[in-house]
Amino acid sequence: MVFKIIYRNILRHRLRTILTITGMAVAILSFGLLRTVVDAWYAGVEGSSAYRLVTRNAVSLIFRLPLAYLSKIRAVPGVSAVSYSTWFGGIYIDEKNFFPQFAVEARHYLDLYPEFIIPEEQKLVFLKERQAAIAGRQLVEKYGWRLGDIIPIKSTHYPANLEFVLRGIYTGVEKSTDEGRFFFHWDYLNETLEKNAPALANQVGVYIIQVDDPNQAAVVAAQVDELFKNSLAETLTETEKAFHLGFVAMTEAILMSIQVVSFLVIGVILVVLANTMAMTARERLNEYATLKTLGFQPWHLVGLIGGESIAIALAGGMIGLVLSFPAAQIFRSALSQYFRIFHVSSVTLIVGLLTSLGVGVVSAIFPAWQAARVSIAEGLRRIG
């Protein structure tokens, strides 16, 4: 009986209900996309491994480290493996075609990142060929590359115009794994630098260290930095998570603004829905008084108003959440240069659903209280 009344009340003013549900859907869609932007910003942090440390120049990441540090780092107790990489910063055909390119010590580097899945036969070919490169699945799909394609890239950091042969395509072990990176042999870059810019040769951007025990990561990091204390290129060694958080910290104000806006959107729709339910309650006070004369208790009226508010809020919320999937795909395609990982997480869906429920409950509090306390005589005096 109660559910039937709720259903009929929802359809009584169809245009009002449709507009309210639409507003709720837009609000939850916006909320979900804004939360997904924040998640995308933190993707590197969430994908970090507790077993990996990153060693960089203590002054700044733009300054490089000597290749000679490799053997010393490898000898530090607690270190099980070491590799290195250098940011290439190249342009593929046009400046708008931006994607991360890393010159890496391939043999050990790939072993340090088990989240990158590469077919064994492709990996073997990559390791044998000096000009070979590996690209992520997302990157390959974006540019329509195929295995064996020649990919020319001009560096903006080095005097080097290199051509690579695509020999491998990696996929991520999880949805949150970055599939938009491009890897090639550091030796290939170094040979070019030895000819064109000897002063830049035999240097690396960062060292990636794998430790035996994550609980000893701080001790290992301190030992590594102690090795190169007072040298011309002092080091700063930190966990991979801390390394990525350093980049996120540069845009902390932007992220905070996005989060504030996401909650403001929910606040606006909360006011709209609360106003709708208050208007509805005022219009039906005489009906509520009549129901009371028929034996309905105040909690019955609370259930009617609360059920209507929650149903409208959940309907709009679920529509917004469903629409967030195609919207995220469009968003990622349009801004793939900035967001290589952009998918709606299960946490965002749950938060969006709970937020819809919360908006429905809060919006019904005052109208339900007003209907529950109205006297029969006062309600029957009201017309319309």
Residue 211 · residue 220 · CB < 8 Å: yes
Residue 6's domain comprises: 2-43+251-381
The last residue of a domain, from among 204, 233, 262: 233
Q: Name the H helices within 82-147.
A: 106-112, 120-128, 137-143
Q: SS3 for 130?
A: coil
Query: Could you tell me whether strands 161-172 and 116-117 are parallel, antiparallel, or unpaired per DSSP bridges?
Result: antiparallel
Q: Is the pLDDT of residue 311 over 70?
A: yes
Predicted local distance difference test score (pLDDT) of residue 335:
62
> Region 117-133: what's the mean pLDDT?
93
Domain identity same for 182 and 84:
yes
Is position 246 within any domain? no
pTM above 0.75?
no
> What is the band of 235 on the pLDDT scale with cuts at 50, 70, 90?
very high
Domain identity same for 143 and 275:
no
Is position 115 within any domain? yes
The listed range with the strongest mean pLDDT (17-31, 52-66, 240-254, 363-377) is 52-66
> What is the band of 9 on the pLDDT scale with cuts at 50, 70, 90?
low
Q: Taking the C-alpha atoms of 99, 102, 103 and 107 in order, what is their torsion angle to the nearest 10 degrees?
A: -120
> What is the band of 207 on the pLDDT scale with cuts at 50, 70, 90?
very high
Site of tokens 């967030």: 324
Q: For the chain, how many structural domains are there in total?
A: 2
Q: What proportion of the chain, given as a percentage, has pLDDT over 70?
A: 82
Average of per-residue pLDDT values in the chain = 82
Domain identity same for 141 and 226:
yes
- Report the range of poorest mean pLDDT among 66-70, 237-241, 343-347: 343-347
d(CA 171, CA 178): 9
Question: Which residues 6+ apart lie within 8 Å of 254 measured at CB?
Answer: none
- Report the range of poorest mean pLDDT among 31-35, 152-156, 205-209, 235-239: 31-35
Is position 240 within any domain? no
Is position 242 within any domain? no
CA dist 296 → 12, 13, 292, 310 (Å) = 21, 23, 5, 21
